[in-house]
Amino acid sequence: GAVVSQHPSRVICKSGTSVKIECRSLDFQATTMFWYRQFPKKSLMLMATSNEGSKATYEQGVEKDKFLINHASLTLSTLTVTSAHPEDSSFYICSARDASGGYEQYFGPGTRLTVT
Amino acid sequence: GESVGLHLPTLSVQEGDNSIINCAYSNSASDYFIWYKQESGKGPQFIIDIRSNMDKRQGQRVTVLLNKTVKHLSLQIAATQPGDSAVYFCAEIRAPGTGFQKLVFGTGTRLLVSP
């Protein structure tokens, strides 16, 4: 149980285009999902907290107009990287917290974004 | 500022040895900690957690120790196996139980297990 998926697992896009990454909780409902970014050989950095049906809460320094987050249902949150640039290339990981309670976050497998 | 960090960036051990991975934290108000394992190209995998009202917790082949006096956390892996090779992160839950909870990750330690 408690499986989180991400799609796509890898994506390559050209500068200036937008890319959407999906995060799904497969066997539980998640009122809260989190988006992280991870650079090579570095730790995970929280980008934003996404609550179902409301606006995401972004961490300091994260541009909300650049990284659009939508959490339209209890099992799906999306992260859209708009007008991507090479410096947006990174490993993006989502996590989800079960709506039934608890504080544990279940992590997705990550999405490798490469902007050329 | 507040941070969660690790003392050793890389730890190399022989198969069968016991491994100890350390973590220091600075937020004395934190009362919940988690250890994660991350293999290359994958998301973090939960290993074990501990609340601040405990100083030790054991799982299968893993033990987490918490020393609140010096704000130190460690993960002990018994009889380390090649499959344990990964990066290990400690993480701290900020403001647990208040509805505003977020994980703050440490810098990570790479564990290399040689056969």
Give the Cα separation of A19 and B74 in Å (integer): 39
Nearest-CA distance B68 → chain A (Å): 21
Distance, in Å, from the CA atom of A22 to the CA atom of A9, rounded to the nearest integer, reads: 10
* B32: nearest CA partner in chain A: A103
Q: Which amino acid is at A102?
A: G
Find the CB nearest B42 among A105, A106, A109.
A109
pLDDT of residue B5: 52
Which tens digits make up the pLDDT trace of B31-86? 889 999 999 999 999 999 999 899 999 999 999 999 999 999 999 999 999 999 99
- Residue of A107, A111, A112 best to disrupt the B interface, most CBs of B under 10 A: A107
pLDDT at B100: 60
User: Which residues from chain B sit within 8 angstroms of residue A110, using beta carbons?
Assistant: 41-43
List the single residue in B32, B43, B93 with the smallest CB-CB distance to A109.
Answer: B43
Question: Model confidence over A42-72: pLDDT tens digits?
Answer: 899 999 999 888 889 999 999 999 999 999 8
Please judge whether A46 and B97 are an interchain contact, meaning their C-beta atoms are less than 8 angstroms apart.
Answer: no
Of B69, B106, B64, B111, nearest to B86 (Cα)?
B111
Of B41, B43, B96, the CB nearest to A107: B43
DSSP labels, B36-67:
EEE-TTS--EEEEEEETT-SEEE-SSEEEEEE
Give pLDDT, residue B27: 83
Query: Between chains, do B49 and A108 touch, taking CB under 8 Å as contact?
Result: no
